[in-house]
Structure 1
Amino acid sequence: MPQLTLIIGSKNYSSWSLRPYLALAHTGQPFQEVVVQLAQPDTDETIARYSPSRRVPVLQHGDLTVWDSLAICEYLAETFPEAQLWPEDKAARAVARAVTAEMHSSFAALRQHMSMNLRARKPGKGREPGVAEDIARVQAIWNDCRGRFGQGGPFLFGRFSIADAFYAPVVTRFVTYEVELDAVSAAYRDAVLALPALQKWTEEGRQGPSIARYE
């Protein structure tokens, strides 16, 4: 099996990097990490060595390079089908892909005003126009998925899937900004926070250097 290497940004701040990291950790496959510190004078030059898009994350699998977090997760699902990164049921799988794609392309206000920062606590901050609507939509997605497909486990589709990997950074944002959640969403938040891979990432992220641009 060719070597798997995941190139990621600073763990305290890089929500895009966290998503494929969780998916890759879930496969159980050994992999190497290359962490590129963001917002440094040589950041762009360093990332360009790995990524044609000049962005992280990037997956290297032997001679293959895959960039973009969703493309990486899809590749992992195809390469390691035993990990069951998408739900087995066709309808559940379609919805899982839809909510994952929505997370990938939407929620601009939440992303802008509640940026990921694992070590910070900012209660009451980030409540700019559009953020409340994004928070409500996220909770609606979580409630719908848990209600229709969540039997058999604590995650959106019961077992852990790519959808959970994509919403994990939102979970951390809700902790950082102390967002009050309904009962179903709070239980789901706690299940995601209990993931060993997320706990490892969070511990390492909090120990990383502080970057003024993101603080």
Structure 2
Amino acid sequence: MKLQLFAHPFSSYCQKVITALYENGTPFELRMLGEETPEAITEWCALWPMKRMPVLKDGDETVLESTIIIEYLALSHPGPVRLIPADARAALKTRLMDRFFDNYVMTPMQKVVFNQIRPEADRDPYGVREAKAMLDNAYAWLDGAIATSEWASGDAFSLADCAAAPSLFYADWVHPIPETLANARAYRARLLARPSFARAVDEARPYRGFFPLGAPDRD
């Protein structure tokens, strides 16, 4: 039975998993979550009442949270690209970088985006400033961490890069990476050129009008 991914192509966490699936050419059915697909929405809500994307359905198995989904794929549907290193210590660095991108790039980026969606009276300018300050710190740290390697945790594309790709893609729209941080900017460019992520970005292009801050005319 083909894997089913309950997701939306424009969602950053969905792109993280979609990139992993494309990286290994893993067949799956996209169960599109949108106003035009109420049946998928109903099934998704029954599978995961927290109503967070993505959710993977593999026969009778339901897998939640993007990192866990990629870990599950590595165990249950391995492909030619090993996204979790076999060496335990190398895997620790990969998992650390995965958490770095989710917690210190994706989370503050989303805080700025979600603030824009709120009614104006309920917006949190102080929180937005905090989020952008965290992004500045994350960019600066990443610039040093990526200085001598092609990918986030070494010379091989991994789970960490699946997390980095949508994180940096959208974060640079929200709060641009300074031109002085050449390593971080070059790494983002490498991610955009990676065929698996480039495909995910292209498939999401029709939805750029949904970006509440206005999608920039680039990328």
Question: After TM superposition, is the score higher than 0.5?
Answer: yes
Structure 2 gaps of 5+ residues are 115-126, 215-219
2:146/2:183 contact within 8 Å kept: no
Structure 2: distance between partners of 1:20 and 1:142: 24
Change in Cα spacing, 1:82 to 1:201, as seen in structure 2 (3 Å) is closer
Q: What is the match of residue 155 of structure 1?
A: 151
Contact 2:95 2:160 in 1 (8 A): yes
Q: Is it true that 1:132 corresponds to 2:129 in the alignment? A: no
- 1:144 aligned residue: 145
Q: Could you list the per-position Cα deviations for residues 8-53 of structure 1 after superposition, in whole angstroms to 9, with x for gaps in the alignment? A: 12x23x1111111111111222211112127x99986453144353
| 2:5 is the counterpart of 1:6 | yes
Q: In the alignment, what sits opposite 2:183?
A: 184
CA contact (8 A) 1:58 1:68 kept: yes
1:57 pairs with 2:54: yes
State the 1:54 CA deviation.
Answer: 2.5
Is 1:83 aligned to 2:111, yes or no? no
1:22 aligns with 2:22: no
Equivalent residue number for residue 121 of structure 1: none
Tell me, yes or no, if the aligned pair for 2:144 and 2:183 is still in contact at 8 Å. Answer: yes
Bigger CA drift: 64-73 or 52-61? Answer: 52-61
2:199 is matched with which residue?
A: 200
RMSD: 3.1
Aligned length: 197
- Give 5+ residue unaligned stretches, structure 1: 116-125
| Counterparts in 2 of 1:31 and 1:146: CA distance versus 1, 3 Å | farther
The 3 A distance-change label for structure 1 pair 58 and 99 is: same
TM-score by length of 1: 0.76
Do the aligned partners of residues 77 and 43 (structure 1) sit closer, same or farther apart at CA in structure 2, a change above 3 Å counting? closer
Instruction: Say if 1:19 and 1:166, in contact at 8 Å, map to a contact too.
Output: yes
Q: CA deviation at 1:170?
A: 2.0
Q: Per-residue deviation at 1:114?
A: 4.8
Please say if residues 143 and 182 of structure 2, whose CA atoms lie closer than 8 Å, have aligned partners that are also in contact: no
Q: Deviations over 1:106-148 (max 9, x none)?
A: 4543321156xxxxxxxxxx9723413323224413532553x
Deviation at 1:160, TM superposition (A): 1.0
- TM-score, length basis structure 2: 0.75
The answer on 1:36 being equivalent to 2:33 is yes
Secondary structure, in 3 states, of the residue corresponding to 1:128?
helix
Alignment CA distance shift 1:26-1:146 (3 Å): farther
Corresponding residue for residue 120 of structure 2: none
Per-residue Cα deviation, 1:71-123 (whole angstroms, up to 9, x for no partner): 101101222164210234443321111121233344543321156xxxxxxxx
- Choose between structure 1 and 2: higher helix proportion: 2
| SS of residue paired to 1:99 | helix
Helix, strand or coil: the match of 1:173?
A: helix
